[in-house]
Copies of this chain bind each other. A is one copy, B any other.
Amino acid sequence: MILKFLDLDSQKQNRILNAAMKEFAQKGYKNASTNEIVKEAGISKGLLFHYFAKKKDLFLYLYDYSLEIFTIEFFQRIDLVEKDIFKRIRQMALLKIDLIKKHPELYNFLYKAIIEDTPEVKEDLEQKNKQLLTNGYAKIFRDIEVKKFKETIDTDKVINIVIWTIEGFSNQILEKIKSQYPNELHYEKISKELDVYLKFLESAFYK
């Protein structure tokens, strides 16, 4: 059934995917209306269900689809040879921001999907996420170089501080991207501000 969808010309595919992602991102799974989706996509109600038997199928397909695009591009571009945590995390944060700028709809959809709690889809999402997290995040910090840290330091806690700081910083940026002055945000400037934070932390925790 989804195979039929994949045979469509990609323009129409995208119209449907974008309409659906937008609706789900805006209203969450349950409140999202298939009526709105087809209206926005410019197709008939019947056609949507010709491709996706159920609303849930559409939602989970979108989740897989957008996650795949994100993760594939992420892992292609991340340099895992770099073992220094500050350099590694610097890369990741900038890459993340770049990906979001490049695919804002995907990001909005995913962001919302991750906190989705409608019972109908929650379990399926959690299953998918469990794999993701064990495959993903953990792996990324497994091979970090530890010897540069001050000896007295509890490494796990330091890594947490670094991650939380970078998350806080990213969210601040994203908040600006979303709401207010998206155009004022230049890669250069973000990159520089990020460096300030990382320098702080580096000088604090490295020998």
Which residues does A use to contact B, with CB under 8 Å?
Answer: 26-28, 30-31, 112, 115, 117-119, 153-154, 157-158, 160-161, 163-165, 167-169, 172, 196-197, 200-201, 203-205
Majority-rule SS of A interface residues: helix
Cβ-closest chain B residue relative to A168: B164
| Complex Cα gap A164–B118 (Å) | 29
| Complex Cα gap A164–B203 (Å) | 18
Min CB gap A32→B, angstroms: 10
- Stoichiometry, copies per complex: 4
| Complex Cα gap A203–B8 (Å) | 60
Residues of B within 8 A of A26 (CB): 117, 119
Min CB gap A24→B, angstroms: 10
Contact of A112 among B117, B118, B161 (CB under 8 A): B117
Contact of A160 among B118, B161, B168 (CB under 8 A): B168
| Complex Cα gap A117–B30 (Å) | 11
The answer to whether A157 and B196 have CB atoms under 8 Å apart is: yes
| Complex Cα gap A64–B166 (Å) | 32
